[in-house]
Amino acid sequence: MQIINTSDGSHTIYLPEIEEQYHSVNGAITESNYVYIDRGFKYHPAKNPVIFEAGFGTGLNCLLTAVEAEKEKRKTLYFTIEKFPLSKTITSQLNFGLLISPKAQTLFNQIHDCIWNEVVTISDYFSLKKIKADLIDFSFEGHKKFDVIYFDAFGPDKQPDMWTPLIFNKISKATEIGGILVTYSAKGEVRRQLTASGFKMERLPGPPGKNQMLRGIKKEAKI
Ligand SMILES: C[S@@+](CC[C@H](N)C(=O)[O-])C[C@H]1O[C@@H](n2cnc3c(N)ncnc32)[C@H](O)[C@@H]1O
């Protein structure tokens, strides 16, 4: 596992065994803001959104959402799942807070230091539950419904078992009608599977280095 610099100066993590990064090498903060914050969080009209993130990773999406929630004064409840939490040795070296603001650095530390598997109040506008589990066999039965999904697994070519009808169907079931799903992937197969799971999908221009990304709106309880 290596910490590397991306084009906008922000860090990401490179995993040599699967030759995959946690974010785009064309800018981790840039990509995360573009895909998840601008086309996900900011796009959804809910005053108090409930968010689900597939793949907590470095906590970057989580941090940027906490920062934006404060800025917009939207009380946000954020659920995120992670099978392989990063060590403190790694997360304490990441430069996201440093690049954003001292306040963001404090939020980043709180986000990483808080307990797993419990809802924790991070700030006036941001509560977080980090779920330490495998998304593949995780059940959303009885779970609070989501308004916004950040689907941020490793790429479908690198980790195909995270991009399956099984996973998309259970996420769809756990999403409010009118809820939205955003992902950096623009693969045709992903779009087709999400459509079959009840999302009306659209292709949007992608972040730097990517032609397209996907956004879906939950239309119907098909499954
Ligand atoms: C692209 S990275 C996520 C980046 C993250 N959203 C961020 O802001 O840094 C994908 C994440 O999915 C996690 N992951 C892989 N397989 C998983 C599984 N079966 N269940 C839950 N998380 C998984 C990885 O450990 C990794 O942290």
Give the residue, by CA position, lying nearest to ligand 1 atom 2.
Answer: 22
Task: In whole angstroms, give the CA distance from residue 54 to residue 134.
Answer: 10
Ligand 1 pocket list (CB less than 6 A): 22, 32, 53, 55, 57-58, 60-61, 81-84, 134-136, 152-154, 162
Which pair of tokens denotes residue 176? 């409010």
Half-sphere exposure for 107 (CA within 13 Å, toward CB): 27
Give the residue, by CA position, lying nearest to ligand 1 atom 26.
Answer: 57
Q: What is the mean pLDDT of residues 86-109?
A: 97
Residue 142: per-residue pLDDT: 87
Q: What is the pTM of this model?
A: 0.97
Instruction: Output the CA 101–ligand 1 centroid distance in Å.
Output: 25
Above 70 in pLDDT, residue 222? Answer: no
Instruction: Output the CA 89–ligand 1 centroid distance in Å.
Output: 18
pLDDT in tens, 123-133: 999 999 999 99
Torsion of CA 73, 79, 83, 85, to 10 degrees: 30
Nearest one of 202, 144, 135, 203 to 169, comparing CA atoms: 135
Confidence band, pLDDT 50/70/90 cuts, at residue 153? very high
Q: What is the mean pLDDT of residues 105-111?
A: 97
